Amino acid sequence: MTDNSRRYPDSAIRVLDHRFNALRIASASVECLYQGTRWSEGPVWFGDGRYLLWSDIPNNRILRWDEQTGAVTPFRQPSNNANGHTRDREGRLVSCEHLTRRVTRTEYDGTITVLADNYLGKRLNSPNDLVVKSDGSIWFTDPSFGIDSFYEGEKAEPELPQCVYRIDGQTGEITLIADDIEGPNGLAFSPDESLLYVVASRESPRTIRVFDVAADGRTIDNNRILIDAGAGTPDGFRVDIHGNLWCGWGMGTEELDGVRVFTSHGEAIGHIALPERCANVCFGGRHRNRLFMAASHGLYSLYVNTQGVKGG
């Protein structure tokens, strides 16, 4: 970070609308926690162990950052080019793997259970990001990014269109949720789970789509644009308890790189500038008020005056 991060308020935290003032802490600055990845993704917080896991996809590893010591150590290598992570409602790690083209769960004893690797007998493309709903169901995106080259997996021809899927929390049944999103990427629910947000990362410009979740909690409809990203490139994101979207943003310019914050109505209100593009974020810390940001080559954090939604 620049020397500005040593001063309060940190000039990297930019107010685009006065409503963002209520979400920032004047005496908190952006902290660089680690440098040395090729492409950081999928941060997930483990409060019971006070550590964070995140992916370094091209290096085929999951890293662990320890809150008490600041140490970074390998958690899993090889990781099957793991990308997005979350925790299920029982606290277990759930991961998207590019190399094996599957969604997995890490059990308490460290063994790995395959939750999804095909749909109607055809292999998934490369599961990218996922979120767990309060009913225990797992919703994940399946673009082709991991099979487009040999950089984040193995190059291959897609067998399925790029879709969003749901894994039933009770039966394990896999159902197709949406097939009308160009390059579905990051996804998250609104705090009351009445809305599902999905990044359409192959639209030009990129957009963040919003859907209404049906009363049964199992299907969605009314696909519409919430955010037109313009020159920005949203990737992964998380939602706070007030419904604001904290989005990984970029790319390649000082103005765009970092995290862009939007209201639930799609209005840009704040920006956290980083020296590199941010791919994905999560909330952690004792009170879920520390934003962790997985950027291109590193991991960053910032304390904020809000909290991430539970399960996010």
Tell me the residue ranges of DSSP E strands in 161-304: 163-167, 174-178, 184-189, 195-200, 207-213, 220-228, 237-239, 245-249, 258-262, 268-273, 278-284, 290-295, 298-303
Cα dist from 280 to 121, 156, 176, 214, whole Å: 31, 25, 24, 27
235 is in an annotated binding site: yes
Catalytic hit among 10, 56, 235, 240: 235
97 is in an annotated binding site: no
| Residue type present at position 60 | N
235 counts as catalytic: yes
185 is in an annotated binding site: yes
Torsion of CA 34, 37, 39, 43, to 10 degrees: -40
For residue 193, the tally of other CB atoms under 10 A from its CB is 15
The DSSP call for residue 177 is: E
CB 124 within 8 Å of CB 179? no
| Residue type present at position 135 | D
128 is in an annotated binding site: yes
CB 273 within 8 Å of CB 303? no
Residues belonging to the binding site for substrate are 128
**Binding site per annotation, positions for a divalent metal cation:** 41, 185, 235
Binding residues: 41, 128, 185, 235
- Positions annotated as catalytic residues are 235
